[in-house]
Amino acid sequence: MTDRKGELAANLAKVEQRIAAACAAAGRERDEVTLIVVTKTYPASDVRLLSELGVRHVAENRDQDAAPKAAECSDLPLTWHFVGQLQTNKVRSVVGYAGLVQSVDRSKLVTALSREAVRTGREVGCLLQVALDAGESARGERGGVAPGAIAELADLVAGAPGLRLDGLMTVAPLTGEYAGRQQAAFERLMDLSTDLRRTHPAANMVSAGMSADLEQAVAAGATHVRIGTAVLGVRARLG
């Protein structure tokens, strides 16, 4: 085993222990929570090692980094998640490799994703990114739809050819009433998920929690956690 593979294996084991402990504390089964490893800024060689170690879900937030990496790893049994703010001019590229887009937050993006999914004969899973730092009808500082606009956007995704409404995603906000209150933020997301499932029962995916707050996300009921630093290490500063 290479030094890097050993490092990743050890980090994955620690994260696995954290998820398992959080599930036990919340009275949940371990298989109720799926680990997504966020591989942004790390090379395709790391993605390949993660796959060898059993990782099946990886995430990226910048298409210019993700597209060549996904192409290089196209032989691996991976599901790619796109988790960054997505501009419509990047949709064609992203639909080429992403099985799920977790950052759907406006009607124009839904239209573009649907058009490209139909053109390529693919089905793309969509999570609505919820901005808990937004007013009822505004957008969040880091993208996302306000809670009050979820229902309308969900109906749009559910009715769009080539798209599948899978659920909700959030990032713990840095401002507003939930700043520094990750547990409360994730519990609010779960309440919104319950509301959504009344009209869209299959949209039961809840993506929340990162390296620093995965325990709070699991306690709240998240089905997927997005872990980068705790698996891959502290990223070099960009720029």
Q: What is the pLDDT of residues 180-234, one digit of tens each?
A: 899 999 999 999 999 999 999 999 999 999 999 999 999 999 999 999 999 999 8
Hunting for tokens 């192409």 — which residue is that? 71
What pLDDT was estimated at residue 139? 62
What pLDDT was estimated at residue 174? 85
What pLDDT was estimated at residue 234? 81
What pLDDT was estimated at residue 96? 97
Residues of the chain with pLDDT under 50: 238-239
What pLDDT was estimated at residue 179? 87
What pLDDT was estimated at residue 1? 72
What pLDDT was estimated at residue 239? 43
